[in-house]
Amino acid sequence: MTPRLRMTGVRKAFGATQALRGVSFEIGRGEVHALIGENGAGKSTLMKVLSGAYQPDAGRLELDGVAFTPENPLHARQSGIAMIYQELTLAPDLSVEENILLGSEPARFGWINRPRRRELARRALAELHHETIPLDVPVGLLTIAEQQVVEIARALIGDPKVIIMDEPTSSLTQVDTENLFAVIGKLRQRGVSVVYISHFLEECQRLCHRFTVLRDGESVGTSDMRTAQLPEIIRLMVGREITEIYPQTPHTLGATVFSLKNVAGETKPRSVSLTLRAGEILGVAGLIGAGRTETLRACFGLDRLIAGTVEVFGREATRGTPTSRLDSGIGLLSENRKEEGLMLNRSLADNLTVTRLSPLARGGFINRRAQQDCTQRWMERLEVRAQSPAQPISELSGGNQQKIAIARLLHHEAKILLLDEPTRGIDVGSKAAIYRLIGQLAAEGKSILFVSSYLPELLGVCDTIAVMSRGVLVESRPTTQWTEHEIITAAIGSGSNDVSTHA
């Protein structure tokens, strides 16, 4: 049978960098095919060629047996190729409804059929069980997780032949991930082919028929997912064995260094009380809209608190600003690295050292050699794939950008780290390195508040897990006393806590 999509010998270079070195890939009708590889392996570049964002330097593409060369993303979409990007591509000032139908607006005689557009947008969100996301709100006001839902809803519009999902669950909770899996099942039944890119290998094993592994811009293996062994997939990805996905570093919990008492923000959180001890890794779980990100932002002084108290190292510090929080040894890693975490037009060195330049300056001037050497050391410790400290950070993969954002906190010598989805968009090898680093930091006495939507990593890494539901921290206990089912049950909560919020 002719495959739905075939790519043969695809090459793509950016200057001297060979991103794709003759990659071949194919997928059948109604197949869910995992495309696996480390950050920088070429997965996103290959899919951008397929979706028309990049033009290949060489190679051949076929769609339903016919030669296919997408001229641009619109042409690809009109030909039946829908793309969900890892880095969201929404128009922040347009409404949710406008974003979902952007480029595919129903029209008659040159006029947009607004009632029909609204119905299609509502139907797409309902398919993802997110009917409560308001259609008229500018998408830029939604949380990152909700924006991810909108991005997925947009891909469902029309009659796609192939849907490319690049890390679709990276910002989704367990419940929303299950909803997405159900949608993928429906797409398969309709004959839609799904290219599934994910660093969550358990997801790939559950969803996919086959997998293809890319490494250093080359396809190094394709096989049946049902008979594949996880260690073999990882070995193909990284070119070496990884014995521990969740490495354990012995560490001791000390005195309380950071505490929240009945903290509330203008919208969220509603009520959060917790204590974080020296050397502790405290995970925070919850559904989309539970208020986890808002809690971290309020703690760091980015959002205003309207109630409750914050104590840092035993001192009352409720009204802190981001500057005072940094000065007191608190660092925040935002889940939105593009808008709040990084200066995309600057170098790795500038991004990593910007909050603490004093050790690298002399006479009021930055010692560029010292800055480069400092950055190089952190790049080696966190295994950052980049050409040099002078490289623009916009040229790095999402996972490597995230590592630089974490390195900034470490360079700043933060003693309390507020990490919001720190492994989002990072491959399994890099995740293991981040987990090992977090364990080492805890062993050094640093304290980590770790927000994640990925329950296995919370259970594998944290000493304590707290669960939030509808803006309230409802329960906190040692990790050994939790199961995934119990965490989800606590996150869903009871109807008595219900409030009319969607975010």
Domains of the chain: 5-238 (3.40.50.300), 244-329+414-503 (3.40.50.300), 342-413 (no CATH)
**Residue 334: which pLDDT band, with cuts at 50, 70 and 90?**
confident
| CA distance linking residue 275 with residue 262, whole number of Å | 12
Over 80: is that where the pLDDT of 327 sits?
A: yes
Q: How many residues does the chain have?
A: 503
- Predicted local confidence at residue 499, as pLDDT: 32
The percent of residues in the chain predicted with pLDDT above 70, rounded, is 95
pLDDT at 241: 56
Highest mean pLDDT among 28-32, 364-368, 385-389, 420-424: 28-32
Alpha-carbon distance of 334 to 203, in angstroms, equals 25
Q: Tens digits of per-residue pLDDT, 275-285?
A: 999 999 999 99
The residue among 61, 79, 123, 58 whose CA lies nearest residue 97 is 123
Q: What is the mean pLDDT of residues 146-167?
A: 85
Exposure string of 319-357, with b = 16+ CB inside 10 Å and e = fewer, is: ebeeeebbebbbbbbbbbbeeebbeeeebbbbbbbeebe
What's the pLDDT score for residue 339? Answer: 65
pLDDT of residue 496: 36
Ramachandran region of residue 294, left (φ > 0), alpha (ψ -120 to 50) or beta?
A: alpha
**What distances in angstroms separate CA 96 from CA 141, 179, 319, one per listed residue?**
10, 19, 34
Handedness of CA 260, 263, 265, 268 (dihedral sign): positive
Structure confidence at residue 501 as a pLDDT band (50, 70, 90): very low
Using 50, 70 and 90 to split pLDDT, how confident is the model at 273? very high
- Least-confidence region, from 14-28, 157-171, 191-205, 376-390: 157-171
> Does the N-terminal peptide bond of residue 73 adopt cis geometry, omega within 30 degrees of 0?
no
Residue 497 is predicted with a pLDDT of 39
pLDDT, average across residues 430-437: 83
Amino acid identity, residue 177?
T
Return the exposure string of 104-129: e unless at least 16 CB atoms fall within 10 Å of the residue's CB, then b.
beeeeeeeeeeeebbebbbebbebbe
pLDDT given for residue 319 in this prediction? 87
Coil, strand, or helix at residue 330? strand
Q: Which residue has the higher pLDDT, 233 or 244?
A: 233
443 vs 244, residue with greater confidence: 443
What kind and span of H or E run contains 285? strand 281-286
The residue assigned the tokens 């490597």 is 400
Give residue 337's pLDDT: 65
